[in-house]
Amino acid sequence: MCGRCSLEGRAPFWLRLRRTALYRRFAIGRALDHANASKRFDAQQDAILRYGRLKICATPNRYPAGRIAGVSQRQNSDALGRVDVVGEGAGHNPRRRVCSPRLNASTRLLKWTAFAMLLAWPAAGLVRSRGSASQTEPPVGSAGKELSAKHALQPAVEIEEAVYTYEPANNGAGPLWCSGSTCLVRIGDNVFAAGLETLKDAQPLNNCRWLLFKRGSNGWELQLADQENRTREPSPIVGFPDGRLFLSANPTVARVPEPHGGPARPEILQFSAASPKAPFERTFPVWQGAPKFSEHSYRSFAADAVNRELVLFQNIGYAHAEWAFRDRNSQWSANGKLVWPWGAEYDKPQPIRVCYPNVALKNRALHFCGVSDIVEPYAKFREYKKQITGRDWDYDFRRLFYTWTPDVTTGQFREWIEIASRDKTCGWISPGDLWIAPDGAAHILWSERALDERLREKFFPEAKQSHALNYAVVREGKIVLRRTLAIGGEGLSKELPSAGRFQVTPDNRLFVLYYVQGTDASGKVVSENRVLEIGRDGAAGKAVRVPLRTPFTNYFTATARGGSPPSSVIELLGQRAGAANTISYARIRLW
């Protein structure tokens, strides 16, 4: 047929397909997650391509009959994925198949050649960008079976190294003391870590200073150290994708040593990720009134990287936390007080100070989840503990509280809800992580120990010890799901989980990294990190060992709460088993 259809006078079939290429749209993938796409090999497709087929959507023919000798394309559902062409122009027989499956071999070859030319057509808009306005975030656990099979969980350690060493400050804090925030942030190709150095000639409590490190081609390099001030606690950091890096500092304003602490001045230091050694900008949060801050800040620092906004919380004694919000215009445009929940059930009713919180900020909705931190509130327990320790005090870390606000700028937080409690058996709870899903639900992770074994024989002899890694989902202030992801203890496995952290990928798959210690069923000592995936129904997938040379027992991650982007690579900063006074880094690819 010499490349022409059987209808006399019409252009060749391949040429007509090429002319109409700009009117076709088909999704074969998405833009890579990072600008340096050539360096990435884990970018995922926007749609699952089953059996190697292409998803084709032809633009409907909107021209009236007779205006052009037009053809409309329809997708044949046969196993070969062939496209049949049916004539619709004036003077044509609508029942006649111009290019039917019965055509000779040469014609079929021409048809497939034309189809291949169409695929190669460099028309704008053929590939849908991940950042297009029409795209919505996939739901949690939205990966289908094909995607899960393609990206099966198979962690591989890319880097495992020491960052710095330190001397204990003996002031009640340490490099990981701000565990609810993070001291590790990724901005583009750069990764930064905030450290804590003990000053030899300074006395506690304010006998430390902050350090800022950057990882380069030769490993970690110290960029800057505080040359002016002293402090007690580590300094959390957050980052924005535009290259701004922020460090939360809380230097003492006292000029002479104060063994019992003293007044402090919260400040935010802004660095350039491109030139972290350059002079930084110092800004001061705007507070409500004139709060009396001290070296015990228990502060939380969180960022909404997409909107270039951040928030700082800092405790005032046992009454409340002060907070300040910095908007996208770099203005401290909102502030207020977060009043603690009330402990009416205690022997002496009192506020329940909430410490070590995970704070997440997203589209100005703010979520706050922390643990009770007060002196033992029950006289019977307090007196018995004194017989054991000789101290008049012993702290309570056994109730997990959560609150939120849909708009932090209003200053109106919702009622506190208690996520978990081990109050009756003097147990222990530690916040793990907090992630806000695309639907606004808060995903909460924490570690829980059932009881204080020192008190068991006298007060709750029938209780059994357990160590659990627990997970819950809260939507609009209500707990809608609760799961135990891993557990060990008496009558259970002897492998005890702790130190859970979330890792969220660009397609919103939710993973949990945690530490396990104890003995396995054969009596072999276990000390390792594991990772599992949480499914759409909240169920935990099979845990897989992370092949680190030395496991991390306590650590920060490059979390979205600190402005780092979602990733299929986990980055850790923390302490490894057996490596006393050393802060280390690891990079782990999930597949």
Q: Rounded mean pLDDT of 371-388? A: 97
- Dig out the tokens for 182 from the structure: 């993070």
Q: Please say if the pLDDT value at position 390 is more than 90.
A: yes
What percent of the chain clears pLDDT 70, i.e. is strictly above it?
Answer: 75
Residue 283 domain flag:
no
Alpha-carbon distances of 467 from 367, 451, 487, 492, rounded to whole Å: 26, 9, 6, 10
Q: What does the angle CA 449 – CA 465 – CA 544 come to, to the nearest 5 degrees?
A: 65
Q: How far apart are CA 85 and CA 110, in angstroms?
A: 14
Question: Among 51-60, 378-387, 547-556, which stretch is predicted with the lowest mean pLDDT?
Answer: 51-60
Alpha-carbon distances of 258 from 74, 203, 230, rounded to whole Å: 81, 8, 11
- Dig out the tokens for 348 from the structure: 């002496």
Q: Rounded mean pLDDT of 419-448? A: 98
Looking at 90, 114, 135, the residue that finishes a domain is 135
Q: How far apart are CA 28 and CA 25, in angstroms?
A: 10
Helices assigned H by DSSP within 66-220? 105-119, 145-150
Residue 259 domain flag:
no
Residue 350 domain flag:
yes
Question: Among 154-158, 244-248, 255-259, 405-409, which stretch is predicted with the lowest mean pLDDT?
Answer: 255-259
In this prediction, residue 334 carries a pLDDT of 98
Residue 151 domain flag:
no
Residue 554 domain flag:
no
Q: Please say if the pLDDT value at position 227 is more than 50.
A: yes
Q: Please say if the pLDDT value at position 45 is more than 90.
A: no
More confident residue, 525 or 38: 525
Model confidence band, residue 133 (pLDDT cutoffs 50, 70, 90): very low
pLDDT digits 0-9 by tens, 464-521: 999 999 999 999 999 999 999 999 999 999 999 999 999 999 999 999 999 999 999 9
CB burial of residue 577 (10 Å; 0-12, 13-18, 19+): middle
Pairing of β 267-272 and β 281-283? antiparallel
Q: Please say if the pLDDT value at position 60 is more than 90.
A: no
CA dihedral 564, 571, 533, 176 (to 10 degrees): -90
Nearest-CA neighbor of 265 among 289, 239, 229? Answer: 229
Nearest-CA neighbor of 197 among 205, 182, 207? Answer: 207
In this prediction, residue 112 carries a pLDDT of 53
Model confidence band, residue 319 (pLDDT cutoffs 50, 70, 90): very high
What phi and psi values does residue 556 have, to the nearest 5 degrees? -95, 165
pLDDT digits 0-9 by tens, 396-418: 999 999 999 999 999 999 999 99
- Dig out the tokens for 246 from the structure: 């922020």
In this prediction, residue 258 carries a pLDDT of 76
In this prediction, residue 256 carries a pLDDT of 79
Alpha-carbon distances of 17 from 106, 119, 421, 506, rounded to whole Å: 18, 11, 67, 36
Q: How many CB atoms are located within 10 Å of the residue 422 CB?
A: 19
Model confidence band, residue 393 (pLDDT cutoffs 50, 70, 90): confident
Total tally of structural domains belonging to the chain: 2
Q: How many CB atoms are located within 10 Å of the residue 521 CB?
A: 8
Q: Please say if the pLDDT value at position 71 is more than 50.
A: no
Average pLDDT value for the chain: 82
Residue 218 domain flag:
no
Nearest-CA neighbor of 72 among 26, 111, 9, 16? Answer: 16
- Residue carrying structure tokens 């997409």: 306
CB burial of residue 25 (10 Å; 0-12, 13-18, 19+): middle
What percent of the chain clears pLDDT 90, i.e. is strictly above it?
Answer: 72
Q: How far apart are CA 55 and CA 49, in angstroms?
A: 8
Instruction: Name the region of 105 (left: φ>0; alpha: ψ -120 to 50; beta: rest).
Output: alpha
Nearest-CA neighbor of 354 among 412, 417, 437? Answer: 417
Q: Are 237 and 247 in contact (CB under 8 A)?
A: yes
CA 492 remoteness from chain centre: 31
Question: Among 14-18, 23-27, 244-248, 480-484, which stretch is predicted with the lowest mean pLDDT?
Answer: 23-27
- Dig out the tokens for 436 from the structure: 């806000």
Residues 6+ apart with CB under 8 A from 230: 199, 202, 206, 207, 208, 209, 251, 252
Q: Rounded mean pLDDT of 339-364? A: 98
Under DSSP, is residue 383 helix (H, G, I), strand (E, B) or coil? Answer: helix
Residues 6+ apart with CB under 8 A from 465: 449, 450, 451, 453, 456, 489, 490
Q: Please say if the pLDDT value at position 21 is more than 50.
A: no
Rg (CA), the chain: 30
Identify any residues that bridge with 399 across adjacent strands, giving them in sequence order.
Answer: 421
Please, what sign has the CA dihedral across residues 342, 343, 347, 350? negative
- Residue carrying structure tokens 């496991």: 551
Tell me which amino acid residue 460 is: F
Residues 6+ apart with CB under 8 A from 254: 206, 262, 263
In this prediction, residue 56 carries a pLDDT of 33
Residue 309 domain flag:
no
Nearest-CA neighbor of 422 among 381, 390, 457, 389? Answer: 381
More confident residue, 569 or 61: 569
Q: Fill in the DSSP letter of residue 390.
A: -
Q: Are 163 and 175 in contact (CB under 8 A)?
A: no
More confident residue, 433 or 91: 433
Q: How far apart are CA 321 and CA 436, in angstroms?
A: 22
Q: How far apart are CA 356 and CA 401, in angstroms?
A: 11
Identify any residues that bridge with 164 across adjacent strands, giving them in sequence order.
Answer: 583
> How long, in residues, is the chain?
591
Residue numbers of the domain that contains 45: 13-135
Q: For every residue of 290-357, which 3-state class applies, written as one string?
A: CCCCECCCCCEEEEECCCCEEEEEEEECCCEEEEEEECCCCCEEEEEEEECCEECCCCCCEECCEEEE
In this prediction, residue 261 carries a pLDDT of 85
In this prediction, residue 11 carries a pLDDT of 53
Model confidence band, residue 293 (pLDDT cutoffs 50, 70, 90): very high
Question: Among 30-39, 297-306, 531-540, 573-582, which stretch is predicted with the lowest mean pLDDT?
Answer: 30-39
Q: Is the peptide bond before 492 cis (omega within 30 degrees of 0)?
A: no
Question: Among 29-43, 63-77, 535-549, which stretch is predicted with the lowest mean pLDDT?
Answer: 63-77
Q: Rounded mean pLDDT of 566-585? A: 98
In this prediction, residue 87 carries a pLDDT of 34
Looking at 82, 103, 135, the residue that finishes a domain is 135
Looking at 492, 519, 539, the residue that finishes a domain is 492
Alpha-carbon distances of 8 from 11, 13, 516, rounded to whole Å: 9, 12, 76
Q: Please say if the pLDDT value at position 110 is more than 60.
A: no
- Dig out the tokens for 297 from the structure: 């800040």
Q: How far apart are CA 381 and CA 394, in angstroms?
A: 9
For the chain, how long is the longest CA-to-CA vector? 105
Q: Rounded mean pLDDT of 216-229? A: 96
Model confidence band, residue 150 (pLDDT cutoffs 50, 70, 90): low
Residue 203 domain flag:
no
Tell me which amino acid residue 423 is: D
Model confidence band, residue 422 (pLDDT cutoffs 50, 70, 90): very high
